[in-house]
Amino acid sequence: MTNLSTALGEDVSATPIRDTANSPLLIRPGIEASKQMLWIKAHKPAIEQELRQRGALIFRGFGIDSPERLLEFAGATSNDSPNFKEESSPRSQVSGAVYTSTDYPEDYEIQFHNEYSYANEWPMKLYFACIIPSQTAGETPVASTRGLLSRLSPETVKAFRAKGIMYVRNFSSGMGVSWQTAFQTSDKAVVEAYCRSRGLGCEWIEGDVLRTRKVQNPIVKHPITGEDVWFNHGFFWNARALEPMEVREYFLSLEPDSLPTNTFYGDGSLIPEDVVDEIRAAYAAEAIRVPWEKGDVLLIDNMLMSHGRSSFSGPRRIVVQMADGFKRSDLA
């Protein structure tokens, strides 16, 4: 076996997907199945070290082929699994802290993003486990936030640093996640109090539609590595990023702040089309797609790697557990 990572020792092979510093490692066990979980527990510090360098690790051959096994794996390599509010993706609980990765239709691609990067609290670690791989495609592509930031022009970076990014969301029962689901309550007063406590502007539109606004810095420093990273939902939620094209054109015909989600510069002005296209091209250049195999675990540092989902056909069951909560107020 080719072991490129001395931190992980000689009981596993570790091969980079690409010959770059920010490429995920593919880790395979060289020990019998009965000893693999013991190895994982004993090598938590080494796994942390490699995760900070690579941004993502793929564990293949460790037999993490059920939600219960994922709970055990994540429990051995993380500190906690908090309950996060302001959900934006429809999910279903599977077992404990394990959920479906998303319930979006299979024929739609999901653009690159970082979980809860629009919120004041987010998970530092994401654990995706493959229970059933799809017949075609269905990868969970990753893209380095360090690499993406380096690909953006100085003018684009300067504009986002100066203006920030504004997230506008409209919660309704007709599309996306309802405000009752996102805030885990049916009491409007509780929602309003939550928004006030987090600097989240909110108003009720047409009775039961909740509109929120929040300005955040889209470029922040990773709390452990100290590196600047492109950490946001700016592209994913922008109307010009929607796929397929007919869906994009329809939403672009509506009022910009009436969509389920949309993003603007922090001063409320539209992000120019050429800037959205520049970000799209940067994600495409950084994207790494690895076909799923049953029992795989993709462990992501949520601030160092963005992720998405390819469209697919056939049965597919990918579950996720989020762990190690972090607060925006603790950023440098």
Q: What pLDDT digit, counting tens, does each position of 228-255 carry?
A: 999 999 999 999 999 889 999 999 999 9
Where does the pLDDT of residue 153 fall: very low under 50, low under 70, confident under 90, or very high at 90 and above?
very high
Class of domain 147-283: alpha beta
Is the model's pLDDT at 193 over the cut of 90? yes
What b/e sequence results for 128-157 when a residue is b if at least 16 CB atoms lie within 10 Å of its CB, and e otherwise?
bbbbebbeebbbbbbbbbbbbbebbeeebb
Q: List the one residue out of 122, 111, 118, 121 whose CA is nearest residue 148.
A: 111
pLDDT at 1: 38
Domains 6-104+121-134+291-325 and 147-283 share a fold: yes
- Sign of the Cα torsion 99, 101, 104, 106 reads negative
299 beta partners: 57, 127
Return the higher-pLDDT residue of 294 and 332. Answer: 294
Q: What is the pLDDT of residues 81-90, one digit of tens each?
A: 988 888 887 7
Question: What's the pLDDT at 2?
Answer: 46
| Percent with pLDDT over 70 in the chain | 98
Element (H, E) at 262: strand 261-265
Range name among 3-17, 33-47, 103-117, 197-211 with the lowest pLDDT average = 3-17
Tokens, residue 12: 């596993």
Q: What is the CATH number of domain 6-104+121-134+291-325?
A: 3.60.130.10
Which residue reads 């120019």 in tokens?
A: 272
Q: Can you give the pLDDT at residue 77?
A: 97
What's the token pair of residue 88? 């934006």
Q: What are the structural domain ranges in the chain? A: 6-104+121-134+291-325, 147-283
Euclidean distance between CA atoms 318 and 290, whole angstroms: 14
Q: How confident is the model at residue 4 (pLDDT cuts 50, 70, 90)?
A: low
Q: Is the pLDDT of residue 221 over 70?
A: yes
pLDDT beyond 80 at 164? yes
